[in-house]
Structure formats: structure tokens, C-alpha cells
Amino acid sequence: MLGSTRLAGVVIALIAASSWPALAEEQKTPRELLKEAIETYPDTPFTAKGKLSWEEVTREMTLSHRRIDDQSSGSYLEVTAPLNLKGTRFLFIERKQGRGTQFIKVPDVHRVLQAGERQRSESFLGSDFYVSDMIAPDVDSLELTELSRETVAGRECRIIEAVPKPSMDWQYGKARYAVQPDDKLVLRAEFFDKKGDLFKVWTLDKVEKVNGNWTPYVQRMKNVQQKSESTLELVDIQYGVTLPDEMFTRSYLER
């Protein structure tokens, strides 16, 4: 979703840390808490190498991320291996308000495709992640309800159920997010299909603070219906790098 992250994002959540007194935390509504968790982007630009894997399959890529302005951030991905996918490029634009935008450039195709509903529900590079999973959903297009509190990965979380409003096109019937309120981390997201059955479970398996930013090193998506899972790992993360404005434009993908 690394949201937030989000990769996207990437999916789904890259989130800055802060600490809240217990009283202040109690005053946060489900909407406020989820928006803070998946819409807060690191101020520091960074690059990383990524590895997406499942069974005996591996995809390698580079990732560049930076804040574009006060309301949006961008993630540029380029596949480096295997050879038949090398040069495939993605641009994910996330916004604090409104729906994010995704662009795809496939080698040997002389145009950039903006992802529509069909492309958003397609597999990301053959994995258990959807293309739409690489960016966070528009929180304002979701009806949110706090269901309970639960310990997830050793941390107390608030469980927030998200149901799309009638005007929202979403690949899922609903989702349940486990949000750790002190650090504003989404540690787990359960996605249900349109029939209400559990479909996929996303988990943040390894997260560490780097240069003041919570950094998702390992994310996992399990498809419980097909009994498969995919892992996205980030390595060689470099914060404080200089990234040109044009990298986060549609024309950059076309080069």
C-alpha cells in the first residue's frame, strides 16, 4: 500500500517516526491514524536495490524515491534482471489527497502506458503483488472503522477496516490494516475479495530506522487462496542522494 509506502509503496509504506503521548493517541480517529501512517513520506531522497522473489523466480531492480512537492512523492523503478525484463520501467506517483498515478514502460514498446483499472489488478512482474499494491489507496475514498486492538510482530496495533466507497474502483472488497500508532507503522494489511473472503495478506517483516526514517527492508505478500507468496527486499539503501526532477516525469520513462 510502501502506504505507504509503500513501495507504494511501494507499496505500500515508507513512514517517518514520531512519538505520541497515550492521551493524544487516543484522540486519533481511524482516518487520521491511517492517513498519517500511509501518507507521510520521508523528506530525504533515497535510492536502493530491490529483489522481488517467489519460488525459484527472482526479479532485480533499482529504486529511486523522493518527495516531489508538499502533496506528492514519486518512486521510479527500473528492472535490471532477468534479461528478458531488463529495462522495464515504472513510475509511481503518490498523493496525500486523491488517487495516485502509475505509469509503465515495457522494452521495445515505443509508448508509456498509464495504468487503468485492468492494469492495476495485474500481477506486478509476475508476483503476488498487484500493480496497485505498489502505492497506497486514497484514504478519503474509504469508509474506515476501528475493529479492535491486536499484537502484531510484538507491537500493539489498532485494527482498522477499510471498505471502498461506491465511487471508488478498488481491486479489493475491503481491507484490514494493523497500525502501530506510536511509530505510525502499518505492520500488516489483510485484503479481502469482492465476496468477502480473505484473499491476500501483506506483512512488513523487517523494518529499521535509518537516518531517522523507518525503512522497510523486507515486505511479504501471501496469496492465501492460491497458497503462494512473494517477498520484496531492499538493500544498499542510500539516503540524501540527489535525484533530478525529470526522473519523476512520464517523459523520463520514454527515453
Planar angle of CA 116, 117, 119, nearest 5 degrees: 65
Per-10-residue mean pLDDT for the chain, 255 residues long?
44 37 62 83 85 96 92 92 94 82 85 79 91 85 94 95 91 95 93 96 93 89 97 94 94 87
Distances (CA, A) of 32 to 14, 28, 38, 133: 17, 6, 10, 21
pLDDT at 7: 46
Instruction: Write down how long the chain is.
Output: 255
Residue 219 grid coordinates: 515486505
pLDDT at 26: 55
pLDDT at 242: 95
How far apart CA 4 and CA 37 sit, in angstroms, is 7
pLDDT at 191: 97
Distances (CA, A) of 192 to 15, 96, 171, 202: 24, 24, 9, 12
pLDDT at 2: 43
Which domains are assigned to the chain? 15-139+206-220+229-253 (2.50.20.10)
How far apart CA 29 and CA 36 sit, in angstroms, is 11
Please give the span between the terminal C-alpha atoms of the chain, in angstroms, as a whole number: 28
How far apart CA 239 and CA 47 sit, in angstroms, is 7
Answer whether 245's CB lies under 8 Å from 232's CB.
Answer: no
pTM of the predicted protein model: 0.85
Residues β-bridged to residue 221? 202, 230
